[in-house]
A and B are shown apart, each in its own frame.
Chain A
Amino acid sequence: MANILVVDDEPNIVLSLEFLMEQAGYKVTTAEDGEQALACVESTTPDLILLDISLPGISGFDVLEQLRAQATTERLPIIMLTAHGREVEREKGMAMGADDYITKPFSTQALVEKVRQLIGEEAS
């Protein structure tokens, strides 16, 4: 079973995301901030990360940069999730190596589709 790491400091959205991903047949780990997320990646090596940008402490962009800098996580699928909907931020995320960028609010259906697609790509 594929493992998904959800990094978000907003418990309401984490609750729904966790439920939705499990319903879609994935194992879900959660992290509340960037430090915790990096530690989680060390210990569990997820198959995909849903990463919020505005996190307490180090930002999602920072986490993304650090993960992309390590050989083991260089190609790990990462979807940026954010309430910052500005186009320039989407561009920044993509420029820094995110696989996709989804702004809140989002359609859960589309998110699940995107996750399936990225993990499927990874598996094939």
Chain B
Amino acid sequence: MNRRGLPKRQRLIGLWLLLSGISFLGGAIFAALLDAQLAPQGWQRWVLWLGSFSGGATIFLVGLLLERMLFTPLRHLQVQLARLVANPDARDEHPPEGWLKGLGPDLRRVHESWQADRSRLATAHTEGARSAARIRQELETLLQVLETPLLLCDQHRRVMLFNQAAEDFFHDQDGLGLGKRLEALVPSPSLQQAMSQLPQDGSPRELLAPCDQRWLKILLRRVPGSEGETLLTFTDATASWSNEMGVRADLAAMLTPLRQHTASLISAADALIQLRQQGDRSAGLCERLEGVIQSEGTTLGDNVARIGQLLDDMQHQGERLSPMWSNDFWQALDERLDPEHRLITPIGMPAWFKGDAPALIALMASLIQHLSAYLPESGFEGEVCLGNKRVYLDFIWKGDPLPERELAEWHRQRLEVLPLSPTVADVLRQHASDTWSLADEGSGYSRIRLPLPATERVGAPREAMPPRPEFHDFGIADLPHPDEALANRALRSLEVVAFDTETTGLELRRGDTVISVGACRVVNARLLASETFDYKVDPKRPIPAASTAIHGLTDADVAGAPPLDIILNRFRQYVGDAVLLAHNASFDMLAISHHGVDFDLPVLDTLLISRALDEAIDGHDLDSLAVRYHLAFPPGTRHTALGDARVTAELWLALLPRLEARGIDTLEKLLALQANAFDKADGSA
């Protein structure tokens, strides 16, 4: 079908009315002239007038007939075809009518056979892919439980896969996402260089790269037999690095002065002894030697104290000690002590501390077992108190403190459940810790206290997220090179970020501004469920009630949200190299412009594309199009920024096959089509 199809409806109607009018007028003038010249009488006069008007009447009636029987059915057929191409499951809302009625059975036949073909294809696909899916599922599970952060990149350093551990590892960075460039995550030139020089045989290369506040040890290898794909694993080397370079280096450096001072001390003492044996009474020399012993002794003492301090520090930085959230610790301990009953009630403010969790849990279990004669069976309260450099893990119970003698005996106990069966004292030493028991003055309660190294972390840990529905997309490797002209990219392979903004009102040029930005990502013609962007913005001005009625956002909802420029910076980061997509994009682009963030990217507009495709059909607003293309969305999500962005993305996916069917398959062609529609829309506005 020609893209231009039917002539524009209004033009046609105008032409028809004009023709009818001219014919009527011509007929009237002609009849008046004849009437004046011939002056017919009676029925002849009637015939004359009727005959003169018959031309106009015929044109009018034929037009009416054509509109009823041909043009309206054609328009309906066009809508119906559009619906069917976008979605074979759409209902037959307009069966062919008028003179096209005969097409009904044929259309139904085409529709049904397409549906049947599609379902047959789907069944075949499901069955054929079942075993592949099972293998894939097992591999996915394996990857997701793997504790090593892992990334797979294609030859252009775009992320094709990452696991849960990688997401946790980079949780405070925005740069991780399918299809995003690795540079957005780890902006290290040495990494790029290393990736370009990786051996083809899959042998690994190691690299230490700075990232944010950390030093990452990155292990990378080319996947053999692939198209230049690279597998990367990450370790946070900051702690061990600073250990190597910090405390351990300091400790090693302490040895030389220690040797020197010890040598001086021994030789001075020897000299003094010999002096006395020889009976030499030169008081001056004696005094000097004694002075040497005294000062060297003091220096040695200072050095030993310093070494003690360093060893203490080293233990605090011990690699086996990892950060733990106290609530998690109490829960794990409680489950270990008695899976049936709750024995520990955590009280006070939870906090982070460092420890070797399995060892600490074994230690506490042993405490309760060994000292059960002194401890209540009814249970404990667990409290975490904050000290200067330490966190105190306290067990609290109603009763007397534990005698030191019993604690000392407990310290000698071996923990058989741990490797090498260390004693309690060993585990305490590993944590640079000790225990003691004390009474809470005047309350009848006592506690046993276990000091542990504090960490710098604050705030509760992130809530455990449900596993990501999408964490890999191997189609990313088939996307064209990002540096090639975007223009020649196939539409289906475009990375598209559909976005929408909610605003305080529609008059953006008169001070109305953004209160919410939502976006979602389409990669390889798939809408990624969890790759979303959804932020509220503090507009720094009240939201009018009329706007609240549309999007439901009140002043209280946006209070405390970040200002627009911060959100736009984040949004720019989120967009990356993608193409922007919005419905009525000119409004949304105006809303996010002039805030110091450059959105110099191709912008697609579903409103313009829809108009260009179906010039003759009215109703190109998002609601009408959602109905026309049978787009599904959860209730209550329309008119929120993210909800509308998602509908826009789905609309884009529905329009894609129609565009392709017309040979519009590259970004360049689509932009040309869109510009054409824009000119017309602009001209008629």
Q: Give me the interface of A with B, judged by CB distance under 8 Å.
A: 58-59, 61-62, 64-65, 85-89, 91-92, 95-96, 103, 105-107
Report B277 CB to chain A, min CB distance, Å.
21
Interface string of B396-421 (1 = CB under 8 A from A): 00000001110010000000000000
CB neighbours (8 Å) of A92 from chain B are 434-436
Once the chains are docked, how many angstroms separate the CA of A90 from the CA of B305? 13
Contact segment of B296-304, B346-354, B464-472, B542-550: B296-304
Inter-chain contact total with CB atoms closer than 8 Å: 50
A58 touches B405 (CB 8 A): yes
* Chain B residue, CB-CB nearest to A103: B305
Once the chains are docked, how many angstroms separate the CA of A82 from the CA of B405? 18
Does B432 touch A at the CB level, under 8 Å?
Answer: yes
Chain B residues bordering chain A, tally (CB within 8 A): 22
6 CB < 8 A contacts A-B: A62-B403, A88-B390, A88-B451, A92-B434, A95-B436, A103-B308
B405 touches A62 (CB 8 A): yes
Can you name 12 extra interface pairs (CB under 8 A) apart from A58-B408, A85-B305, A95-B438?
Answer: A59-B408, A61-B408, A62-B403, A62-B404, A65-B403, A91-B451, A95-B436, A96-B436, A105-B297, A105-B301, A105-B305, A106-B301
- Given A95-B438, A105-B300, are A86 and B432 neighbors across the interface (CB < 8 Å)? yes
CB neighbours (8 Å) of A62 from chain B are 403-405, 408
Query: Which 5 pairs of residues, A with B, have the shortest CB-CB distance?
Result: A105-B301, A85-B308, A65-B404, A62-B404, A92-B436
Report B450 CB to chain A, min CB distance, Å.
10
Question: Mostly helix, strand, loop or mixed at chain B's interface?
Answer: helix
* Chain A residue, CB-CB nearest to B438: A95
Once the chains are docked, how many angstroms separate the CA of A58 from the CA of B405? 7
A87 touches B312 (CB 8 A): yes
Once the chains are docked, how many angstroms separate the CA of A91 from the CA of B405? 18
Once the chains are docked, how many angstroms separate the CA of A89 from the CA of B403? 17
Once the chains are docked, how many angstroms separate the CA of A8 from the CA of B93? 101
Does B111 touch A at the CB level, under 8 Å?
Answer: no
Report A102 CB to chain B, min CB distance, Å.
11
Report A80 CB to chain B, min CB distance, Å.
13
* Chain B residue, CB-CB nearest to A90: B434
Does B156 touch A at the CB level, under 8 Å?
Answer: no
* Chain A residue, CB-CB nearest to B431: A88
Q: Residue among B304, B305, B434 with the most chain A CB within 10 A? A: B434
CB neighbours (8 Å) of B309 from chain A are 85
CB neighbours (8 Å) of A86 from chain B are 308, 312, 432, 434
CB neighbours (8 Å) of B404 from chain A are 59, 61-62, 64-65, 96
B304 touches A105 (CB 8 A): yes
Once the chains are docked, how many angstroms separate the CA of A107 from the CA of B298? 7
CB neighbours (8 Å) of A103 from chain B are 305, 308
- Given A105-B297, A107-B301, are A88 and B432 neighbors across the interface (CB < 8 Å)? yes
Does B449 touch A at the CB level, under 8 Å?
Answer: yes
Once the chains are docked, how many angstroms separate the CA of A95 from the CA of B436? 8
Report A38 CB to chain B, min CB distance, Å.
12
Does B433 touch A at the CB level, under 8 Å?
Answer: yes
